[in-house]
Structure 1
C-alpha cells in the first residue's frame, strides 16, 4: 500500500506536467487553429535560459520566473513573425513552419548549451512523511504549483472579459469579429500563455529527469496522448487526460513492466477512444451530408 501511494503521487506529479503542456497546446489550438509543434523545443530553450540565470547567481525562484517570461515573449515573437504572415486558414503551412522552427531551436540549444545532460535544481529537497509513506516533497510542490496555475487559467477563461473574448474566438472566429473581438490580440495572448504553461511544466519536470535538448520529447508525446484522451478542444480534457496518462504510466512501470509502460498506457487510451472517439470531454460533431 505504501508503494502504491508513492506511485500514484509520483504519477500525479508527472500527469500535472503533461496537463500543463497539453493545456498550453489546446489554448493555442483553440484560439488560432494551429498545433504548435515547436512548443517543446521553445520551452526547453526557456528552461536553459532559467538554468543559466540561476548559474549566474540569480535566485532560483526569480530564474524560473524569468524563464517563463522569456517563453511568453518568444511565443509572441514566433506568432507575429512566423505564423501571422501566413494568413488565416493556412493550417498545413503553419504546421510545417512550427515543425521546421522546432528543429532550428533544438539545433541552437544543442550548439549553445551542448547535448550533455545537466542537473536542474529542485525547488525543495527532502521527503514528507504521510502515514507510513515517505513522499518526495518536490512531487507535492509540482502538484500544488500546477494546480494553482490551472486554477488561474480556469479563472481567466470563466471570470474575466479577456477569457470571454478568448472563448468567443475559440467557438467562432467570424462571430467573434462581428462582436468586436480583436482576434489578433487573442492569438497573441494565447501564444504567450501557451508557451508560459509549457515552460512551467518543464521547469517542474526537469529536476526529476535532468535537462537535455530533447527532454521535452517524451513529455510532449504523453501530453498529446492526454489531449486526445481528454478531448482535442477541451481544456478540462487536456488536464484530466494528462493526469490519467501520468498515473497509468507510473502504475504500468511499477506493476506491469517498465519496458512496456508506453504500450500499456496507449493501449488503454486507444480502447477509450474506440468507445468515445471525441475523447472523454470532447464534443461529438454531426455534419449534414
Structure 2
C-alpha cells in the first residue's frame, strides 16, 4: 500500500503534466514537446521569487502561475499562431525546436548544476494505517485535486470551456458562429502552460531543480496521456495516475532503471487492445 500511495502522489504530477498536454492537443491539435521545458522555466521563476525576493510560498506559487499563463500566451502569439494553418508536422517540429531553445536558454541563464528546491510544508510524516505520508505530499495531492476540480468546472460549465470544446470539434464552424478561435487557442496554451508549471513546481522538491529536471517527467506524462486517450481530459488524469503507480511497482519489485521500459510496454499492450486509449473515442472524419 505504501508503494501504491507513493505512486499515486507521483501520478498527480504526471496527471497535471498530461492534462496540459491533452488540453493543448485537444484544442489546437498540436503535441507540445516544449511543454516540459516551459514548466521548468516556470519552476526557476518560482525559485527566484522564493530565494531572491524572499516571498512566501503561496504568493510565489500564484505569481509563478501568472508567469506561466503569460508565458503560454507569449509562445502561442509569437511562434504558434504564425504557423497554425501549416501542416501539423511543421508545428510539432517547431515545438521540438522550442524545447531545445528553452533548455539552452535556461542552461545559459541559471547553469546546469542541480539546486535544492524548498517544500511547501515541512515536518515529520504522518502515519495512517501503516502508510507514511508527509505534509508536503498531502499539499501536492490537495492542490492537484483542487486544480482539476477548477479546471473541470471551467471546461464544462463556462462559456470559455464551451468555446474550447467547440473549437476543438470544428474550427471553421466555430468561427462562423462567432467564436474567436485565436483567443481560444491562446487560452488553451495559457492554461496548459499553468498546468505544466504546477507539475514542475511539485517535481522540484522531489528531485532537484535543473534545466533537465522535466525530461523524464514529460516522457511519462506523454505516456499517461496516450494510455488514457490523447483526446480525453479525464483519460489524461487517469492515465497519469495509472502510470505513476505502475512505475513505482516496477521500481520496487524489478528495477528503477527499467521503469520507463515497462511503462511503455504497458502502453503497447493497452493500445494493442484499445488503440484509442482507455478513455479515447474514435475520431469521425467527414468527407464530402
TM-score by length of 2: 0.95
32, 54, 70: which is aligned to 1:73?
70
SS state at 1:207 partner: coil
- The answer to whether structure 1 residue 266 and structure 2 residue 267 are counterparts is no
Alignment RMSD (CA, Å):
1.5
Look up the match of 2:204.
206
Distance 1:189 1:12 in 2: 29
SS state at 1:209 partner: coil
Residue 274 of structure 1, CA deviation: 0.3
Residue 31 of structure 1, CA deviation: 1.3
Contact kept in structure 2, 1:44 and 1:202, CA below 8 Å: yes
Contact kept in structure 2, 1:42 and 1:105, CA below 8 Å: yes
39, 42, 52: which is aligned to 2:38?
42
TM-score by length of 1: 0.95
Distance 1:169 1:94 in 2: 18
Deviations 1:204-231 (A, max 9, x none): 1111101110111111000110111011
Contact kept in structure 2, 1:20 and 1:197, CA below 8 Å: yes
Contact kept in structure 1, 2:33 and 2:95, CA below 8 Å: yes
Describe how 1:52-91 pairs up with structure 2 within 5 A: 52-56=48-52, 57-91=54-88
Residue 143 of structure 1, CA deviation: 1.3
Contact kept in structure 2, 1:230 and 1:241, CA below 8 Å: yes
10, 17, 21: which is aligned to 1:21?
17
Residue 284 of structure 1, CA deviation: 2.0
Residue 98 of structure 1, CA deviation: 1.4
Distance 2:80 2:87 in 1: 9
Distance 2:119 2:202 in 1: 8
Residue 234 of structure 1, CA deviation: 0.6
Aligned length, in residue pairs: 285
Instruction: Give structure 1 regions of 4+ aligned residues with deviation exceeding 6 angstroms.
Output: none
Look up the match of 1:108.
105
Structure 1 residues 288 and 196, CA gap change in structure 2 (3 angstroms): closer
Residue 287 of structure 1, CA deviation: 5.8
SS state at 2:127 partner: strand
For structure 1, the 5+ residue unaligned runs are none
SS state at 1:285 partner: coil
- The answer to whether structure 1 residue 10 and structure 2 residue 6 are counterparts is yes
Distance 2:285 2:161 in 1: 28
SS state at 2:204 partner: helix
125, 128, 143: which is aligned to 1:127?
125
Contact kept in structure 2, 1:128 and 1:135, CA below 8 Å: yes
